[in-house]
Structure 1
């Protein structure tokens, strides 16, 4: 057996010596600050190791902070989107009510019926049939959506729900050739009916008398007749009027206010007499509360 490592002082003696030397060095350093220069040197020598040791923690902390900031921005963006959509819906009504207040002061006892609840929905798909203008949105029967429900964007009326699935619904756009909506001129209350032309940016006003007081640029709003679209929402602007006496009616075209070719976020309206009420999943309750409160104010 090799006894090289067993030679010399015993382990207890070595321990005692080490403790004595340690205590002596602590005393000298405390009383006389004798190791100041050595400390500086050792700190300089160890600092790169300290930096390397703390680097993973710093990277993890930075990544977590960035992820939190990104998540917060997404939540704020979603909240602001809801707020903008809710405010645009109210603004559409307020502009009309202001004009009506100036012209119909004696009829303030008959206010426009406002929807009591709204819900934001998002575009999922666009129908690729060239002869049909329809879209699919991400709200369906489980959210309380019903057939014939009014759909808006942040500008005006988009169309109505024509088919309801469990989790999504199909929307028939204003400009579809099979769609018609009763309107009235916001300037003078002349009542009209607008049919879709099959073109995304054009509506046809049917059976307009040559003597009708219409002008290019007139704003047309939903009249509320037919009990489908609530009264008072911007729908179209007159773009051309052709009065050919050889024809029984004037040829009038209008452009939808809603940007039917740029839809993303939309509003679903539930008037007071709607056949169903909005139903929101638990994860969306806060958004539903926000939308409902915004519509009621």
Structure 2
């Protein structure tokens, strides 16, 4: 109706008056409620369609955030599980030791060990060489001769350390030998590497020695490097050879030498540290003057 005639100013004023009248009529008598409801039904699909991109973006953000959170929590739980498994490895050895020493008085101070998790970066592929490279070095305090474990048992020891990486000689390497003892009865021997990933040979076992298949071998601590009581291997074969003055004993490592991706570097507390701790805990010799 505004195609011709009144000026634009008059049109704006008239439209404003009509709008104001509709607002007042709706406010006082709710005359336009049905019209509003009908229009909302018509416009709802349009509103829903307009909101879909925003909802999709929000859902995507939540999904990515949830995935990152789950990955972080999973990595944290995996590392925590690895540490806890290492902590309980000595329980079997301690139980057997307590049974042997239950009639003795006194106990020794056990301050535990400090450990750091490292990841395996590379594996030695040369035949009969059992070595791996880990991503921790002297910058992290790693030293030559340091014991290395996985979540199950002893793996080996550090033989070369650089600032950011180290080479670990596995217990199955032909150049490695480790003092061990039979957890069942305390029989001491040497577990020597054979160059094969799943075999250790026990040296100098007398023919009358009490050793059986499935006996658990643990570190004896006699070398001064490996803490005592950590699992090493289980006896797999016991064979008597008439031409050999000793019993042939083959053991299988309990560590996952060919499958572990993370290892534990262990710092064993020195005897000096233990004496200092004992001295610090001891009461003063005399009273204050």
| 2:119 alignment partner in structure 1 | 122
Does structure 2 conserve the Cα–Cα contact (< 8 Å) formed by 1:112 and 1:231? no
| 1:200 alignment partner in structure 2 | 197
| 1:43 alignment partner in structure 2 | 40
Question: Could you say what secondary structure the match of 1:119 adopts?
Answer: strand
| 2:96 alignment partner in structure 1 | 99
Cα distance in 1 for partners of 2:167, 2:63 equals 38
What TM-score do the two structures reach when normalised by structure 2?
A: 0.87
What TM-score do the two structures reach when normalised by structure 1?
A: 0.85
Cα distance in 2 for partners of 1:185, 1:112 equals 23
| 2:286 alignment partner in structure 1 | none
Q: Select 1:27's aligned residue among 24, 29, 42.
A: 24
| 2:182 alignment partner in structure 1 | 185
Question: Could you say what secondary structure the match of 2:144 adopts?
Answer: coil
Q: Does 1:259 align with 2:259?
A: no
Alignment of structure 1 residues 124-273 onto 2, 5 Å: 124-273=121-270
Cα distance in 1 for partners of 2:203, 2:226 equals 18
Question: Could you say what secondary structure the match of 1:247 adopts?
Answer: coil
| CA shift in 2, pair 1:113/1:205, >3 Å | farther
Does structure 2 conserve the Cα–Cα contact (< 8 Å) formed by 1:114 and 1:271? no
1:27-47 per-residue CA deviation (whole Å, 9 max, x = no partner) reads 222223222332223222322
Cα distance in 2 for partners of 1:114, 1:147 equals 22
Question: Could you say what secondary structure the match of 1:253 adopts?
Answer: strand
Cα distance in 2 for partners of 1:270, 1:95 equals 21
Question: Could you say what secondary structure the match of 2:195 adopts?
Answer: coil
| Segment drifting more, 29-38 vs 15-24 | 29-38
1:148-187 per-residue CA deviation (whole Å, 9 max, x = no partner) reads 1111111110111111122222111111111110001111
Cα distance in 2 for partners of 1:200, 1:111 equals 36
| Segment drifting more, 112-121 vs 236-245 | 112-121
Cα distance in 2 for partners of 1:172, 1:10 equals 97
Does structure 1 conserve the Cα–Cα contact (< 8 Å) formed by 2:128 and 2:196? no
Cα distance in 2 for partners of 1:87, 1:8 equals 90
| Segment drifting more, 29-38 vs 208-217 | 29-38
Cα distance in 1 for partners of 2:164, 2:95 equals 38
Cα distance in 1 for partners of 2:77, 2:158 equals 25
Task: Give how far 1:69 is off.
Answer: 0.9
Question: Could you say what secondary structure the match of 1:266 adopts?
Answer: strand
Q: Work out which structure has the larger RCO, using CA pairs closer than 8 Å and 6 or more positions apart in sequence.
A: 1
Task: Give how far 1:6 is off.
Answer: 10
Task: Give how far 1:107 is off.
Answer: 4.9
| 2:276 alignment partner in structure 1 | none
Count of equivalent residues = 271
| Segment drifting more, 54-63 vs 230-239 | 54-63
Task: Give how far 1:102 is off.
Answer: 1.8
| Long gaps (5+) in structure 2 | 272-289
